[in-house]
């Protein structure tokens, strides 16, 4: 590796790496080798990766370098590595979804989301861990192993889930970006816990072909990155029709890069009442309030209104719908008395069997009513802001798997059929806090634009975690 390449931070964003590649200051081969070196140094302790593809990645990097030499680059993401959650298929390899219950038979095709990034020139470095079957928000997995939050090298802490490996790999500088999935917060929770950017995309915007489902009414795929700009770059590559997902049929592209850096002056932001935020950690609430003040300084208009229903009501409704649909997809793995599925996950899936079909139809009717009510109340506002999570990452030893505080603000977004961006807003006692920017369906670019305005004002939102110096 030459001296110039060594000067490029292991925590560089994809956009920064793209500029370095275009300027000839590094090569895709150097970037991939460095990523593999960092995985070798750090992943024995972090446990982010399930599987690496070193030979294929280096070959793809060489091909990207050759394209660049010929003046045939595929664009700003060409030659940049990424990781994918082990809920997405890769042809020729098993998708295990963090479980020992699956047969481990090789996938016959690669997930559409991965194919789209590869078509943009990106290089799949490997697959990363998930909560078993993606059914959990803490990020824990006693069956396949729990990735450790890189923000505290002294105390093992929750990474957030279910896209735990994606969050850890990006935050620790192992890859610049990763794909996660989000059913009721599974991209945003690890983004908040690990201090990165995560986008829960609109239902139907990013195709789910090749994704092992949990609850298809809520499931989405989105980017996890170290900058809002990178999230927009990835969404531009990911969005589009997918033959494997009819929800994408007829959906117009949102063009997230157009207007990404436009002023947010005059944008109308809604925040909950003080009573609605009463359970939030005081340090997170301070960061939330100061971030809202920054947005006001940028010209945004902010007003407070009480929630039409409590967060607990939304959380419970989303949880029951998710359980019924999870039972439909996963019941055969958990029903046998000798099931190898972890106890906590098994109980969550079995809850869906207890609810039943008639009650499920009532839940769907309640969901529609909640959507109508909330969006009526949201009239006059462009976006709805909350903390992403009410707490910072707890020690693993303190986690109670029967509780779901990390779903307090995230579950309602999926329930109400919205999109949401989580961005880091600083540290509370050395641990990250996040801001959730929720917008109406298919207005993902607006959430990105608001987040990007903060990013530009702050000179970047990502703070490198301690203890992960460049090797």
Catalytic residues, by residue number, are 85, 162, 186
Using CA atoms, how far residue 385 sits from 17, 36, 188, 230, 426, in Å, is 31, 37, 13, 21, 16
Task: Quickly tell me which residue has 């903390």 as its tokens.
Answer: 387
In order of 317, 321, 357, 375, 408, the CA distances from 365 in angstroms are 11, 11, 13, 16, 21
The DSSP output letter for 85 is: E
CA 283, CA 432: separation in Å to the nearest integer?
A: 10
Does residue 342 contact residue 143 with C-beta atoms inside 8 Å?
yes
- Give the whole-angstrom CA distance, residue 391 versus residue 149: 14
CA distances from 78 to 12, 22, 112, 124, 427 (A): 15, 10, 18, 12, 33
Query: Distance (Å, rounded) from C-alpha 439 to C-alpha 448?
Result: 10
Beta strands in 309-461 (DSSP E): 383-387, 419-428, 431-439
Alpha-carbon distance of 450 to 448, in angstroms, equals 5
Task: Please give the helix or strand (H or E) that residue 411 lies within, else none.
Answer: helix 411-415
Kindly give the interhelix angle for 228-238 and 14-22, rounded to the nearest 10 degrees: 80
Query: 364 Cβ partners below 8 Å, 6+ apart?
Result: 321
- Cross-strand pairs, 382: none
DSSP state letter for 248: G
Pick from 221, 236, 225: nearest CA to 177: 225
Token readout for 439 is 């917008």
Return the closest-CA partner of residue 360 out of 350, 352, 372, 371. Answer: 352
């Amino acid at each position: 590796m030459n001296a110039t390449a060594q000067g490029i931070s292991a925590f560089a964003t994809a956009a920064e790496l793209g500029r370095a590649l275009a300027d000839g200051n590094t090569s895709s081969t150097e970037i991939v080798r460095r990523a593999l070196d960092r995985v070798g140094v750090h992943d024995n302790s972090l446990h982010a990766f399930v599987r690496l593809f070193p030979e294929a990645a280096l070959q793809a990097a060489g091909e990207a370098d050759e394209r660049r030499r010929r003046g045939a680059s595929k664009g700003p993401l060409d030659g940049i590595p990424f990781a994918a959650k082990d809920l997405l298929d890769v042809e020729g390899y098993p998708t295990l979804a963090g479980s020992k219950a699956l047969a481990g038979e090789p996938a016959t095709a690669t997930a559409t989301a991965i194919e789209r990034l590869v078509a943009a020139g990106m290089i799949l470095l490997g697959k990363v861990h998930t909560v078993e079957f993606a059914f959990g928000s803490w990020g824990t997995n006693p069956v396949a192993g729990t990735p450790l939050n890189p923000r505290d090298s002294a105390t093992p802490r929750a990474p957030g889930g279910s896209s735990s490996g994606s969050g850890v790999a990006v935050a620790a500088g192992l890859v610049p970006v990763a794909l996660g999935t989000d059913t009721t917060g599974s991209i945003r929770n690890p983004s908040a816990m690990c201090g990165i950017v995560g986008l829960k995309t609109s239902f139907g915007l990013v195709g789910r072909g090749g994704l092992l489902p949990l609850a298809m009414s809520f499931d989405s795929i989105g980017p996890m990155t170290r900058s809002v700009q990178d999230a927009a770059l990835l969404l531009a590559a990911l969005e589009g029709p997918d033959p494997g997902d009819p929800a994408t049929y007829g959906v117009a592209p949102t063009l997230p890069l157009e207007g990404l850096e436009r002023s947010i002056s005059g944008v109308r932001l809604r925040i909950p009442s003080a009573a609605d935020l009463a359970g939030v950690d005081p340090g997170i609430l301070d960061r939330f309030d100061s971030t809202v003040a920054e947005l006001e300084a940028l010209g945004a208009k902010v007003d407070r209104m009480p929630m039409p229903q409590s967060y607990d009501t939304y959380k419970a409704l989303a949880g029951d719908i998710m359980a019924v649909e999870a039972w439909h997809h996963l019941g055969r793995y958990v029903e046998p008395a000798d099931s190898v599925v972890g106890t906590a996950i098994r109980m969550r899936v079995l809850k869906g069997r207890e609810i039943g079909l008639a009650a499920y139809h009532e839940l769907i009717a309640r969901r529609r009513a909640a959507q109508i009510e909330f969006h009526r109340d949201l009239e006059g506002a462009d976006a709805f802001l909350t903390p992403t999570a009410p707490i910072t990452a707890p020690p693993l030893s303190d986690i109670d798997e029967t509780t779901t505080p990390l779903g307090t603000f995230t579950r309602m977004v999926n329930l109400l059929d919205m999109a949401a961006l989580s961005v880091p807003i600083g540290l509370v006692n050395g641990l990250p806090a996040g801001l959730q920017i929720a917008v109406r369906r298919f207005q993902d670019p607006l959430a990105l634009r608001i987040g990007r305005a903060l990013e530009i004002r702050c000179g970047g939102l990502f703070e490198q975690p301690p203890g992960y110096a460049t090797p």
